[in-house]
A and B are shown apart, each in its own frame.
Chain A
């Protein structure tokens, strides 16, 4: 039996206005090479200038994962030739990273909880992009010099489940801290996976293979499974030492294989040394104090939702997995909507109707809260509310306006319901007699007739009560 050993390197793009070492903007949907200057083009004589807002974000992150914050850290040059790296070295932090020795707690299904150690998180500059078309290669340096926080875990994960839990936790933390957009598809949360296998019980670490280029949680799981299978096959075929070498492989989504990546990683010696163009990075007391003041994190929020709002652990986890959703939910509760109803209407009803993200939905928190309150104050039935929500999702109409327009207002006024009941009973004298003679099943028929006559707007509870009395 084999055990899988997995460590992760996550590159998360920090959401600063300007780049790490120059004042170019960090927006990317621009004409190629528009956001560039002598510094990020590495023209002769240009020098880097550290954007200190990055430091604040890194310290906040370190605080969130219970890490050591190095009040003095350094930048180093990592040398390699590639067209997306204009200076042919990346400015990073090898020898003294800003954040070290952190930890993150995950809760796998068959265990109480597990600590995944974080080796380090360091600040570094992103590369540009190479674009290949038919016969030419082009370079777009708009992204070159964008700040990254590279978060490196220890090889503490043993399954794809643990990997997913760790990544989801990490992802929600950076989002809660608001230090990154952490959008996997757009590349602002990039995951490299280090995978090795070993016989169960062995505590030696075997050859690790790095897999790059995976842009969704689903594909990460798939890539690991495929790579582990390759390694186990090699072991069982007795060719492990020849076939499994320390290398970088790319995950090919279409072919569902990992492929050896030749080129810049080939037997690389990065020749790291202290960056002489920058001073040491010092976190002064003032910045430290302000950066460790971090907002409530997912775990704390989840506990509060359970303890104070009475949600189930499952519901609390769903709501807190995403900061926007958690805030949306809290705002509904603050508006006076009940917690459990808000949870259902947000996480089941609204989410189920969305084609895109919650952020883009036409139904904002005040609207959904009002809809929930209209159910709670019996203005409409839950069934009618679903119809209203359908309507709210597709047009910019208000909640009460939609209820009116759809004629879904519930009639709770008993005299109005009595009038309808009497009409129904006098129109169906024969059935009344049969019922009174003992045919109880007809009760449902009368309810249906009354609801039909009221176009569904009668409060079903009142209808029941009045019918029983009149019959």
Chain B
């Protein structure tokens, strides 16, 4: 059942839907859900474990937050409630959203519904697997460097990252404050637009949220607009052959639908990787400093204050989180700050300007989401290899742009492949219009 159909159900219809979902989750081996918590009445939406729901144990997939019960709702949860939806089930994720496979969760790995030997992607792997397997009709994820779009691509669903500032971050357990955005993960483009509309808008509790009049995208959703769509052939070199093939197929579909295809070049993605990992880890290292065992969460046994900190954090955090905390501390330490952090901010500015220039010529950019399809479990155990797999997604976060990942090879007998459309800041309308057009064009190809 699509989200837009569920929104038409009466209360008994919703109750029946919830029963079906409960049964599916109970019988599932995917481990998409950490637990099937519920919060009130309404159309059920699966929630990533880093979004605060009052009364739920919200743990960001980490041991260190075991025992913590959130006393408040994230702004997006209140918005869901206000629109007749409700939080339904906590989905699995990489610990503190740091990862691309959901393997680093304290609760064990989540399986890809299309091939159980493969990862669902990450960090919002649980939300993607739940929607792809029909265990959820729609879900919320969070995207710091591709954490919505990449698992959506690996699992064959639609995942959308809004413009930075469109959706309130209030109540989203922070990974990297200047990059994080909450977004919808759905079965198709129209559902994504619907859920995006519900959770978006200015929030005074998030100072970085954009104080602009919000206009619904669903009301004006138009798959027939003719758009200028930028393609980046040189950018494709790093992608596997089947990704390149899918890309060409999408370009043809867009051409056939009447869009103008414009060839563009993007900055070498190696700059994206450096700027991203310096910025994200610097912010993360301070954002995660509050998890110290003093006020909430899991406290380790210790005789002194110093030991309390060391033991709680050593036992509570997993390897990838520790690695990023160390990296963040290093880039911020005195003597290195200018060489790393300041330089990364300059690179970030260049990337932003580069995109701004591109959007003077085109309405949207078509890009791969990941260089390969979903890898096998353990294949990305080398951290550097994992960081490099983010090359197509992180530029969008660095520049604060909206982007949507959608499946392009649903009918083929392989793992799903997703591609993304990227739009100028705050131009979600064009993003959804173009995505709807591509979705339809692919169906008729």
Q: Which residues of A contact B (CB under 8 A)?
A: 38, 41-50, 77, 79, 81, 83, 86-89, 137, 139, 269, 271-273, 276-279
Contact = CB atoms under 8 A, between A and B. Distances in A.
A271 B70 contact: no
A288 to B, nearest CB: 21
Contacts of A44: 50, 52, 58, 60, 65, 68, 70, 173-174, 290
A185 to B, nearest CB: 28
Given A87-B289, A271-B329, A277-B177, A47 B206 contact: yes
Given A139-B294, A277-B207, A271 B171 contact: no
Contacts of A77: 286
For A42, A271, A278, the residue with the greatest tally of chain B CB atoms inside 10 Å of its CB is A271
Given A44-B174, A272-B337, 19 more contacts: A38-B72, A42-B290, A44-B50, A44-B65, A44-B70, A45-B50, A45-B70, A45-B74, A45-B173, A87-B289, A88-B290, A89-B286, A271-B332, A273-B282, A273-B332, A273-B337, A273-B341, A278-B208, A279-B207
Nearest to A82: B305
A88 B291 CA distance: 9
Nearest to B337: A273
Given A88-B292, A271-B329, A276-B178, A45 B170 contact: yes
B334 interface: yes
Contacts of B172: 45
B288 to A, nearest CB: 9
A41 B71 CA distance: 11
Interface string B268-288: 000000000000001101100
A278 B292 contact: no
Contact of A137 (B52, B206, B305): B305
Given A83-B305, A269-B333, A273-B282, A43 B207 contact: no
A271 B334 CA distance: 6
Contacts of A83: 294, 305
A41 B295 contact: yes
B294 A45 contact: no
A49 B305 contact: no
11 contacts: A38-B71, A42-B290, A42-B295, A43-B72, A45-B169, A45-B170, A45-B172, A46-B72, A79-B285, A269-B333, A276-B177
A79 B332 CA distance: 10
For A41, A50, A79, A277, the residue with the greatest tally of chain B CB atoms inside 10 Å of its CB is A277
A77 B71 CA distance: 25
Contacts of B305: 83, 137
Nearest to B209: A47
Contacts of A273: 282, 286, 332, 337, 341
A125 B283 CA distance: 19
B286 A79 contact: yes
A96 to B, nearest CB: 14
Interface size class of B (residues with CB under 8 A): 35 or more
B204 interface: yes
B205 interface: yes
A263 to B, nearest CB: 9
A87 B329 contact: no
A48 B174 CA distance: 12
Contacts of A86: 290, 294-295
Contacts of A269: 333-334
B296 interface: yes
A5 B52 CA distance: 52
> Majority SS of interface residues in chain A?
loop
Given A88-B289, A139-B294, A271-B333, A45 B71 contact: no
Contacts of B107: none
B348 to A, nearest CB: 12
Contacts of B337: 271-273
A43 B177 contact: no
Contacts of A42: 290, 295
Interface string B425-444: 00000000000000000000
A49 B305 CA distance: 30
Contacts of A43: 52, 70-72, 296
Contacts of A46: 72, 170-171
Contact of A45 (B171, B329, B334): B171
B354 to A, nearest CB: 22
Nearest to A42: B290
B377 interface: no
Interface in B297-353: 305, 309, 329, 332-334, 337, 341
A264 to B, nearest CB: 10
A279 B205 CA distance: 12
Contacts of B205: 47, 49
B286 A88 contact: yes
A47 B207 contact: yes
B329 A277 contact: no
Contacts of B71: 38, 43
Interface in B135-191: 169-174, 176-178
Contacts of A271: 285-286, 329, 332-334, 337
- Report the 6 A-B pairs with minimum CB-CB distance, sorted nearest first: A88-B289, A276-B177, A271-B332, A44-B173, A45-B171, A276-B178
A413 B97 CA distance: 95
A271 B289 CA distance: 12
Contact of B207 (A38, A41, A139, A278): A278
Contacts of B65: 44
A139 B333 CA distance: 28
B170 A81 contact: no
Interface in B175-229: 176-178, 204-208
Contacts of A279: 207-208
Nearest to A137: B305
Interface string B33-75: 0000000000000000011100000101000010010111010
B85 to A, nearest CB: 19
A50 B207 contact: yes
B289 A89 contact: yes
Contacts of A45: 50-52, 70, 74, 169-174
Contact of B289 (A41, A49, A79, A277): A79
Nearest to A88: B289
B339 to A, nearest CB: 13
A197 to B, nearest CB: 27
Contacts of B334: 269, 271
A47 B170 contact: yes
A272 B174 CA distance: 18
A63 to B, nearest CB: 26
B10 to A, nearest CB: 33
Contacts of A139: 294-295
Nearest to B283: A276
B259 to A, nearest CB: 36
A87 B294 CA distance: 11
B207 A87 contact: no
Nearest to B170: A47
A421 to B, nearest CB: 83
